[in-house]
Structure 1
C-alpha cells in the first residue's frame, strides 16, 4: 500500500464542505483511511483532517503533494479554505537544549523506537553538556554559544543550520534562552517549546520550589508553539500529575520532568502527523 497522504484544512462553516472533499478524493481513486473534523460553532469555522492513499496511475503529478494541491485549488477557492497536503515522509526536526537532558533523552528514545513520527536530524545547544547523549544516539551535535553580545550571531547561525539540514520543525527541549521576536517570527508555526508548568503558572527561577511553598496539588507541563509573546503561544498539549504535601522540591522536580517529557513528545508527534491546526490563539488537535 502506498504511504498515506494527509489533507488538513480550515474554512468558514457551510454545507457541502465534506461532500466536496470526499468527492474530490473519490474522483481520483483515493481511499480514505482516517477522517476527523471539528465544527467550531463559536467562531463559525470548520477544521478537517483526512488521511488517504492514492493508487497512482491516473496522472503522475497526482501522486505528489504539489499535484494534489493544484487540482484541489478550485474546491479550496469555492469554500475559502486554508489547506495543505502532506505525504508520508517524516519531518526532520532540530532539537535545542541547554543543560537539562530529560526531554532530549525521551525524544531520542522515541525516535530510535520509531514512535516519534519524525527524524531527529540535529541537536543544537548553547552548552557542551549534552553532546555525548546526542552523539551516542548517532545524531549530529552543534555547539552554538550564546552571550548577550553574540545572541544575534547565534540566531543567524541557527537559521543557517535550519536551512543546511532541511529542518521542518524546531523543538525547544528545555532550551534556556529566550528567542528574539525576529527569530520567533521566522519560525512561526514550526517551533515548539516545553514549559515547566501548567500554564499559566509559576514564572521565574525555581518554579518547583515556588510550587512547593504554595502547597500545590498538581504538577504540570505545557507544550506550545513559540511566539514573540513569551510562553503565550498556542497550546498543543498539557500533562498534569497529582501530588500532595509529602512531595518535597526534589520529588516535584522528578514528577515535573516526567510531565515535561510526555507533553513534549506528544506535541511533536501530533504536529508531525499533521494533527494540530491553529485556531486563533489556540489549537485544534485531532488525536
Structure 2
C-alpha cells in the first residue's frame, strides 16, 4: 500500500538542495511522480514541489510522521527555509465568502462537485441573505454575517470563530464586496485569495468595467490574488484576458468578465490546493 504526498520547500538559494530533497525521499522509499523547481536569482530564493508515493499503510503505523519530522529538520538546517509535507488524502477545508453576485460561487461548487477541486467546503459566508437558497439547495452550511461600519469588528470576530471551529485552511473571496481588516489579513497571510474583476494593476477598486469602458480598452481580464490590507494589491496568483472592442457596452464587458472571473478564481484555488503557490515578496511563484 502507498500514500501520495506533496513536499514543498522555500529556501535561500544554495548548492545541494535538489540532492538533499531527493536523498530524503529516497531514504523513505518514495517514488517521485513530479519534481519541479525554480531558482529566483533576483531574490536568491529557491522553490521546490515534489509529488510522491510513499510505502505507508493507509491505517496503523507511524504514517507520514517520520518523513514530516525529517523534512522539518532539513528546513531548519537550511536556515531561513520553510516547507511542509501534505498528505493528499487529507483535503483542505475551504470557506467561501460572497455578497450578492453568484457566478463565481456557482462555478466553485460545480468544480467541487465534479471533483476538479480536491477540497471540502466548510461553508459559505455572506454579508447578505440573498444566496442562502442557492447554498441550501447544495446542502452546504450558510452563515449570514451582516457587516456595517459600526459592526465590522464584531463581524470579523464571528468570522474568526467560524474559521477556528471549522478548521478552515483557505478562505476564498468569491466576489465578497467587503474590505477585510489589516489584522485579519496579517493573521491569515497566504491563506485568503480574492478575485478582482479587472486585469490588475489597472482599474483597482469599485466599478472596474465602467472604468475600462471609459478608457476604451481592447482587452479586459480578471485577477486572482492574495488578500492584503492594501486594496487589490496582494501578490497575483492567476490572470486571464479576453479581447473586446468599441462596441462593447459596460454591461457587455461585465457579461464577458463574469466567465473570466470564474475561470481565473478556480484556477488560482486549484493551484493553492495543489500546493503550487509560493509567496515571493510582492510576487508569487506558481510551479507547474
TM-score by length of 1: 0.95
Worse overlay, 247-256 or 205-214: 205-214
Q: Partner residue of 2:98? A: 97
Cα–Cα, structure 1 residues 22 and 126, in superposed 2: closer, same or farther, change >3 Å? same
Matched, 1:67 2:62: no
Superposed CA offset, 1:224-261 (max 9, x none): 11111221111100111111112111110011111111
2: CA distance, partners of 1:249 / 1:52: 48
Cα–Cα, structure 1 residues 74 and 213, in superposed 2: closer, same or farther, change >3 Å? closer
2: CA distance, partners of 1:205 / 1:29: 53
Gaps of 5+ in 1: none
| Alignment: residue pair count | 284
Cα pair 1:4 1:54 within 8 Å, conserved: yes
Q: Partner residue of 1:216? A: 217
Superposed CA offset, 1:133-157 (max 9, x none): 1111111101000111111000000
Q: Residue 189 of structure 2: SS of its match in structure 1?
A: coil
Q: Partner residue of 1:13? A: 13
Q: Partner residue of 1:138? A: 139
1: CA distance, partners of 2:5 / 2:54: 8
Superposed CA offset, 1:58-113 (max 9, x none): x933x22x432212244323333311111111111100000010100110100101
Cα–Cα, structure 1 residues 37 and 146, in superposed 2: closer, same or farther, change >3 Å? same
RMSD: 1.5
Cα pair 1:198 1:240 within 8 Å, conserved: yes
Q: Residue 157 of structure 1: SS of its match in structure 2?
A: helix
Worse overlay, 68-77 or 270-279: 68-77
Superposed CA offset, 1:161-195 (max 9, x none): 11111111110001011111111112211110111
Superposed CA offset, 1:190-244 (max 9, x none): 1101111111122344221221121101111110111112211111001111111
2: CA distance, partners of 1:55 / 1:192: 34
Cα–Cα, structure 1 residues 176 and 52, in superposed 2: closer, same or farther, change >3 Å? same
Q: Partner residue of 1:240? A: 241
2: CA distance, partners of 1:157 / 1:228: 19
2: CA distance, partners of 1:92 / 1:16: 35
2: CA distance, partners of 1:56 / 1:111: 27
Q: Partner residue of 1:193? A: 194
Q: Residue 228 of structure 1: SS of its match in structure 2?
A: coil
Gaps of 5+ in 2: none
Cα pair 1:118 1:269 within 8 Å, conserved: no
Matched, 1:52 2:56: no
Matched, 1:23 2:23: yes
Q: Partner residue of 1:120? A: 121
Q: Residue 133 of structure 2: SS of its match in structure 1?
A: helix
Q: Residue 186 of structure 2: SS of its match in structure 1?
A: helix
Q: Partner residue of 1:176? A: 177
Q: Partner residue of 1:32? A: 32
Matched, 1:269 2:270: yes
Structure 1: 4+ residue segments shifted above 4 A: none
Worse overlay, 256-265 or 204-213: 204-213
